[in-house]
A and B are shown apart, each in its own frame.
Chain A
């Protein structure tokens, strides 16, 4: 069965089962992972997968089911369980149906036409090159993961609407170890792109190696109040972990967001303008349409600190009599769509990163953290443990630090304590942010 036959068969069968409306989501994907450990290629792994998600409703009862597809029997199975789930469920008074009209926006550089998946030698050579390059810099290569993925997504419904998109993603993650005077440490970083030739591994290697040497022989500092400069990549992580869930319309509508009733209110510092843009050319989460088949859009979410909009999928938008903002996202083919960010872009500032550090009287520059995903987007509590930081006094880096815990009220800190943003932007996959200088942060230490 080809992918369009699966779609047609599912829609037709759903009608026979008495389902009022049906939305079919099919993803045909291929992923190749090349792994290098120490001085060698370790694994080459390929995964092919064909997955089907079906959302259907009878009246105001709605359910979603999913399966991998090996034959039409899988489609029958999924529809049988879908009908059972729909009939067992209770009415959702807010349900106003699936999107009836599907649409696409114009987006460039999201599919690499030159890629040849049958030949993995280009990727194995790339990993071997990375290993050689790292080892030539007086550094030990620990691991490299190169992931190449290609997918074809088709969304269709019982109204005869169909949209299709092709996507490619490349991701590389490198970890190195460096030693000096019998002291050693490690550092890892990653980069990603939509076109293989744009995967900038040389800059990544230079950053990983140079940064690694900065963190040898960390010292301890006392618990206290410090200024901090957060590298753009880490600031992006904080935005993903604390802010992004709070401005998605489902958490707002379900009373789990500190941003409830805050539209047109100053929620962050006026230096912060944040845009969600799903149709920017070549960015990591760009696509022609979202996971409900609605065209992606660009919207200013935070304008000079003022909250301008929540992010909506069709369901949450319908509840408020609005149009979807093109932010429907499925975590997998079996999951129901929910609002989530596409590409989140923070507008840059005017200072260089070096200027930000120079202005710090007593503080820490944060290069990497662990555990920021343990932050609480419901309360707005930001938590993270610094794994790679530099202690700074009077604008000068004194020594590396690690194991320091930040525990802060995100909205208070990013509203009241922002000094400046850097002009350089870094990306954490689909979040693009400058480095940011914040004052007066409580830092906990063992001392």
Chain B
């Protein structure tokens, strides 16, 4: 076991005014069945530590996975040297005061996924894979995968905080490629949860796999939607994507602070329909579990938008200090090598009171945008443009959900899209993924997103 106290004392003795050590040990097991053959059965493990020091209000970082004292000593010296290098030309980075916290949090699990016999997991995935392969002659390729992860992090700071967290995440993903008359179409879906292996036993995977396979087969016969701008009903997954891409990145205070967000200087302004309330929450059911961020700050439930009015940005200790805002606990690092950036945790919209039927009944011509098969999205927060691909979706005609369409891409403007929300459903769902997350500056972190079904009066659909 590493002696964190010794590292902290050493750094203080070498001119650091403040020291933070982040140690991480992560295991990730990944199984992949490709067309009936086990193609990947791997486990990766990484261990290492990051040292962050403050010298004269300048911050230096260094990390290593070589954990002998000589390497750690060198790492501390690097961090101090880099902080000092910023004294000439680097700006002062005051950090907001935080509470001293001593805590230990661990995902409550019934069965450790790493203790489950590999044969059992492989057999399960092979069965799922074969089910889709044998479903129809139009299925041309099937990939089934399982990922499980345990991410243990220890945060120790010279002001006395010590936080230990151990988070388990597990899930299964399934991709079906269908072929018809020389045309290929793929549909991918995954379900993950912060849980032990019991999650795998609780879910009716065959109904999910059947839906993915049916959707791929229907989609390969489908047309693409007509291009243009239409009323759209977004399902829970697409709402999550919309909030994350179209909105969440633009309220990350590091973008705001340097002027790279169209939401700069808009606190207290009405920027969305009054039906819209948006929350960033580290503890919501269905999302990723983030009780503390990587600066040792408790992740609070942050109300970003309340009834259409922008209430708060998401902060790390630095942005909260210079913008004179409350800490929100959004400093997150991909791993021990990476520095904490301002990141979303689980972003969602609060539900309203519309049933699904009420959401579609007034639409003369529009799209029911489905998340099953969606590949994600991207935003340029400084220009205000966002885009995301959604799964095979449905045309709404005269208040009825009708034929399926494929290859649907949605695009819009951050400052306009949420103003066009004119009805919010009463259902609610938040999801996360063990196979991916959110990317920013080359770092990927686990996130969650979701909400109710939502109707948007006008959104651009890329078709052909």
A41 touches B91 (CB 8 A): yes
B42 touches A409 (CB 8 A): no
> Among A84, A94, A121, which residue has its beta carbon within 8 angstroms of that of B118?
A84
Bound complex: CA A373 to CA B463 (Å): 17
B141 touches A255 (CB 8 A): yes
Most buried by B among A46, A47, A143: A47
- Chain A contacts of B71 at CB under 8 A? 48
B325 lies within 8 A of chain A by Cβ: no
- Chain A contacts of B177 at CB under 8 A? 255-256, 378
B42 touches A143 (CB 8 A): no
A183 shortest CB reach to chain B, Å: 12
Q: Which residues of A from 363 to 399 have beta carbons under 8 Å from B?
A: 370-371, 373-374, 376, 378-381, 383-385, 387-388
A37 lies within 8 A of chain B by Cβ: yes
B409 touches A40 (CB 8 A): no
B228 lies within 8 A of chain A by Cβ: yes
> Among A120, A128, A378, A442, which residue has its beta carbon within 8 angstroms of that of B463?
A442
From known contacts A37-B258, A63-B41, infer whether A120 and B229 are also in contact, taking CB-CB under 8 Å: no
Name the residue of chain A whose CB is nearest to the CB of B119. Answer: A88
Binary interface encoding of chain B residues 10-54 relative to chain A, with 1 for a CB under 8 A from any of its CBs, else 0: 000000000000000000100000110111111111111000000
B258 touches A142 (CB 8 A): yes
Bound complex: CA A64 to CA B32 (Å): 12
> Among A254, A373, A407, which residue has its beta carbon within 8 angstroms of that of B224?
A407
B132 lies within 8 A of chain A by Cβ: no
Name the residue of chain A whose CB is nearest to the CB of B337. Answer: A47
A403 lies within 8 A of chain B by Cβ: yes
> Among B44, B60, B64, B65, which residue has its beta carbon within 8 angstroms of that of A44?
B60
> Among A376, A385, A443, which residue has its beta carbon within 8 angstroms of that of B387?
A385
B399 lies within 8 A of chain A by Cβ: no
> Among B46, B61, B458, which residue has its beta carbon within 8 angstroms of that of A43?
B61
A309 lies within 8 A of chain B by Cβ: no
A186 touches B382 (CB 8 A): yes
A266 lies within 8 A of chain B by Cβ: no
From known contacts A48-B63, A70-B65, A84-B118, infer whether A407 and B462 are also in contact, taking CB-CB under 8 Å: yes
> Which of B159-167, B180-188, B280-288 has 4 or more CB atoms under 8 Å from chain A?
B180-188
> Among A40, A46, A336, A388, which residue has its beta carbon within 8 angstroms of that of B82?
A46
Bound complex: CA A443 to CA B93 (Å): 45
Q: Which DSSP category, helix, strand, loop or mixed, fits chain B's interface?
A: strand
A135 lies within 8 A of chain B by Cβ: no
B460 touches A255 (CB 8 A): no
Bound complex: CA A378 to CA B185 (Å): 6
- Chain A contacts of B383 at CB under 8 A? 185-186, 387-388, 402
Name the residue of chain B whose CB is nearest to the CB of A383. Answer: B409
B464 touches A66 (CB 8 A): no
- Chain A contacts of B441 at CB under 8 A? 145
B42 touches A64 (CB 8 A): yes
A65 touches B43 (CB 8 A): yes
> Among A37, A84, A177, A405, which residue has its beta carbon within 8 angstroms of that of B382?
A177
Bound complex: CA A94 to CA B63 (Å): 41
> Among A41, A66, A120, A445, which residue has its beta carbon within 8 angstroms of that of B460?
A445
> Which of B197-205, B207-215, B351-359, B373-381 has 4 or more CB atoms under 8 Å from chain A?
B373-381
From known contacts A67-B45, A446-B229, infer whether A142 and B463 are also in contact, taking CB-CB under 8 Å: no
A125 shortest CB reach to chain B, Å: 8
Q: Which residues of B from 140 to 182 have beta carbons under 8 Å from A?
A: 140-141, 177, 179
B460 touches A88 (CB 8 A): no
- Chain A contacts of B375 at CB under 8 A? 374, 376
B328 lies within 8 A of chain A by Cβ: no
Bound complex: CA A254 to CA B43 (Å): 24
B46 touches A68 (CB 8 A): yes
- Chain A contacts of B119 at CB under 8 A? 88
A315 shortest CB reach to chain B, Å: 10
Q: Which residues of B contact A (CB under 8 A)?
A: 28, 34-35, 37-48, 59-68, 71, 75, 78, 81-82, 85-86, 89-91, 93, 117-119, 122, 126, 140-141, 177, 179, 183-186, 224, 227-229, 258-260, 337, 339, 375-380, 382-383, 385-389, 406-407, 409, 411-413, 441, 458, 460-464
Q: List 12 A-B contacts (CB under 8 A).
A: A44-B82, A44-B85, A48-B75, A49-B65, A78-B45, A140-B259, A142-B382, A334-B43, A378-B177, A379-B186, A385-B378, A444-B228
